[in-house]
Structure 1
Amino acid sequence: MVTGSRVRAAKGQGGLLRDQLLDIAGQLLESGGADALTIRAVATSAGVSPPAVYLHFASKRELVHATCLRVWDSLFIELEAVSREIQDPVTALYETCVTYIAFGLRHPAQYRLVMAGEATEASRQNEEACFRYFRDKVAACLDAGVPVRSKTETARVVCAGVHGAVSLLIHQDRDVWPADSDRYVRRAASSAVHGALLTASHTFTPSMANVPQSR
């Protein structure tokens, strides 16, 4: 349960109260899911009246959008940090996928709301931004000589892989998640990248002849 003392914003500090409200909204979302995130619950936890929350957020939907977008903004900071020093573009794409999947698993409630829930404006903004980010990484692979027939199609395949890896788990109870989540994240990222790039220049039909055999 999220609790807090009464928040009084001094003159000119409305932005501070807004950030505090978003902190509380994020905690409610993480602990109780979308049903727990209401204007009244945020107001009660902040020690203010619901009208004080409405001064910053016109509706619950706007509050949900702001809460989700705030977390998703941190994703792009993480993506930039993880790939900034990597020279090899395929490795950079792989680490981008690892970061994306790990982010989704750390923030399942926000991920569900943005990608499959009511946060429609947050969904539009983040889906477009994420797709552009992955397409830029695929373009870097093409520039480095990786045979990619279509940057857009290949980026879609990569996005399908990482989104599927996140969605498979966040719609299940945590007690059925893989015991070694880091291994799962890295295998899923490797599958998304290498599968997409392997088929980026030609049609590839899987068969036992293409699978390494154990000895």
Structure 2
Amino acid sequence: MTGSRVRAAKGQGGLLREQLLDIADRLLEDGGTDALTIRAVATSAGVTPPAVYLHFASKRDLVHATCLRVWSSLFTEMEAVSGGIADPVTALYEICAAYIAFGLRHPAQYRLVMDGEATEASRRNEDACFRYFRDKVAACAAAGVTVDSTTETARLLCSGVHGAVCLLIHQEPDAWPADTAGYVRRAASSAVHGALLTASRASRPSMSTLGRRN
């Protein structure tokens, strides 16, 4: 799609940068990294490639910026769903559900950050996510949940929510469960229960520990 040439007024270079990122985000969602090129972004914006290079030195820089902008919204979403909840365990569940739902809404960006070429975005986001979850586990411990190691418990929690996202985004959408919202809730519940129930000791699961129905 080409339109009228987008020109940033003096002092509005940041506005053009955001427009370029909007376009890059759409290209990435629709066609993956192959579709996201400097030339494609320039064509869609109605500018020349050098105008894009003024803001992004390379395709990789453009990919990083696109992924980081999307991922920055994740923390806003997680805070929004948990901010008013007094029970830290319930808040942690809502955070996990928001994380999984985010990954399923943004599969291209999620794959790039966690598995692909967005290496700087990966380092920044993986570290930020881990510290965020560790802080929330620490809040559970402060409220009375027995946790031997907040770091180890956060690591298990992250593996649970990350696995829940990856299980689906590496498949075709028609293979996803029909009730995706239900999947998100159950996966979040499983991650929280699994991590916190083993936070003080790792026990070998058995029928006796699960409790059979009579």
Shared fold by TM > 0.5?
Answer: yes
In which range does the TM-score fall when normalised by the shorter chain? over 0.9
1:58-78, CA deviations, whole angstroms, 9 ceiling, x for partnerless residues?
000000000000000100111
Give structure 1 stretches of 5+ with no counterpart: none
Q: Give the count of matched residue pairs.
A: 214
Q: CA deviation at 1:181?
A: 0.3
2:9 matched to which residue of 1?
10
1:62 matched to which residue of 2?
61
In 1, Cα distance between equivalents of 2:144 and 2:11: 54
Q: Is the counterpart of residue 128 in structure 1 residue 127 in structure 2?
A: yes
TM-score by length of 1: 0.97
Give structure 2 stretches of 5+ with no counterpart: none
1:3-41, CA deviations, whole angstroms, 9 ceiling, x for partnerless residues?
543211111111111000000000001111111111011
1:35 is paired with a residue of what secondary structure? Answer: coil
Q: CA deviation at 1:142?
A: 0.3
2:79 matched to which residue of 1?
80
Q: Is the counterpart of residue 200 in structure 1 residue 193 in structure 2?
A: no
User: In the alignment, residue 70 of structure 2 is paired with which amino acid?
Assistant: V
Call closer, same or farther: CA 1:93–1:21 in 2, change over 3 Å: same
In 2, Cα distance between equivalents of 1:164 and 1:141: 22
TM-score by length of 2: 0.97
User: In the alignment, residue 211 of structure 1 is paired with which amino acid?
Assistant: L
In 2, Cα distance between equivalents of 1:3 and 1:90: 50
Q: Is the counterpart of residue 100 in structure 1 residue 99 in structure 2?
A: yes
RMSD value, Cα: 1.1
In 2, Cα distance between equivalents of 1:194 and 1:16: 44
In 2, Cα distance between equivalents of 1:163 and 1:114: 12
Q: Is the counterpart of residue 50 in structure 1 residue 41 in structure 2?
A: no
In 1, Cα distance between equivalents of 2:2 and 2:172: 26
In 2, Cα distance between equivalents of 1:115 and 1:152: 20
